[in-house]
């Protein structure tokens, strides 16, 4: 992986990982550009990008006739201690990139999910509460395959399973339908930072 640094062992276990996805245009920006913009906006909120997977293309679900998604996973650093505050930042960035919340699994300009926050396990007191790690990450090829690129030794803080075990439980169709899409989000983000400074 010449375009990124992968994190192993304790570094991977103590990280903050965010999953990114998009399948809709916003103000003529492609999904790829929306993902780049999201990384730039996160940096303006003090969320520092450490590395990011390649973008991966995945069929829309549950309706594969809709435009496919571009997905990625980023490892970030953030000085805050409360994951709920970080989720608010993620929602602000989604809104700034045109996200409109409608029905579940609807097409979207940007989707940001907090997959893991420093290996914390957080169970909800009610349905609206933040759950950590992300409760469906282990079922999603579009999270696990990009995550393995940047944190091949990551384990679920909830189950203790390593990433290869979780990937091995996915269906063959889920794995084969999730493919690298080309492009490098991490380098593109640095170009955007230089252009805006």
Question: Distance between CA atoms of 35 and 186, rounded to whole angstroms?
Answer: 10
Domain ranges of the chain: 9-187
Q: Mean pLDDT score of the chain, rounded to an integer?
A: 86
**Environment class of 196 (CB within 10 Å of its CB; exposed 0-12, middle 13-18, buried 19+):** exposed
Helices 31-44 & 185-196, crossing angle to 10 degrees? 60
Residue 9, pLDDT > 80, answer no
In tens, the pLDDT along 102-139 reads 666 567 889 999 999 999 999 877 767 899 999 999 99
In tens, the pLDDT along 24-77 reads 888 888 999 999 999 999 999 999 999 999 999 999 887 888 899 999 999 999
Question: Distance between CA atoms of 59 and 182, rounded to whole angstroms?
Answer: 16
Residue 1 vs residue 171, higher pLDDT: 171
Percentage of the residues of the chain whose pLDDT score is greater than 70: 84
Residue 175 vs residue 126, higher pLDDT: 175
Task: Provide the pLDDT for residue 7.
Answer: 52
Residue 132 vs residue 101, higher pLDDT: 132
CA angle 189, 33, 86 (to 5 degrees): 65
| 3-state per-residue secondary structure call for the chain | CCCCCCCCHHHHHCCEEEEEEECCCECCECHHHHHHHHHHHHHHCCCEEEEECCCEEECCCCCCCCCCEEEEEEEEECCCCCHHHHHHHHHHHHHHCCCCCCCCCCCCCCEEEEEEECCCCECCCCCCCCCECCCCHHHCHHHHHHHHHHCCCCECCCCCCEHHHHHHHCCHHHHHHCEECCCCHHHHHHHHHHHHC
**pTM for this structure?**
0.86
Residue 177, pLDDT > 90, answer yes
Residue 196, pLDDT > 70, answer no
Residue 4 vs residue 50, higher pLDDT: 50
- What's the rounded mean pLDDT across residues 140-161? 95
Per CATH, the number for 9-187 is 3.30.70.560
**Cβ contact 66:22 at 8 Å:** no
């Amino acid at each position: 992986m010449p375009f990124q640094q992968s994190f192993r062992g304790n570094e991977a276990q103590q990280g903050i990982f965010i999953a990114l996805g998009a399948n809709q245009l916003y103000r003529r920006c492609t999904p790829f550009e929306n993902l780049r913009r999201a990384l730039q906006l996160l940096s303006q909120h003090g969320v520092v990008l450490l590395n990011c997977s390649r973008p991966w293309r995945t069929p829309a679900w549950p309706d594969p006739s809709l435009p496919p998604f571009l997905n990625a996973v980023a490892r970030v650093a953030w000085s805050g201690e409360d994951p709920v505050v970080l989720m608010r930042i993620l929602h602000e960035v989604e809104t700034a990139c045109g996200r409109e919340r409608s029905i579940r699994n609807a097409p979207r300009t940007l989707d940001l999910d907090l997959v893991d926050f420093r290996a914390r396990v957080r169970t909800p007191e009610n349905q609206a509460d933040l759950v950590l790690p992300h409760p469906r990450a282990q079922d999603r090829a579009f999270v696990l395959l990009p995550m393995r690129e940047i944190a091949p030794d990551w384990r679920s803080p909830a189950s203790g399973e390593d990433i290869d075990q979780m990937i091995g439980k996915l269906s063959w169709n889920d794995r084969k339908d999730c493919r690298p899409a080309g492009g490098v989000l991490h380098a593109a983000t640095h170009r955007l930072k230089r252009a805006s400074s």
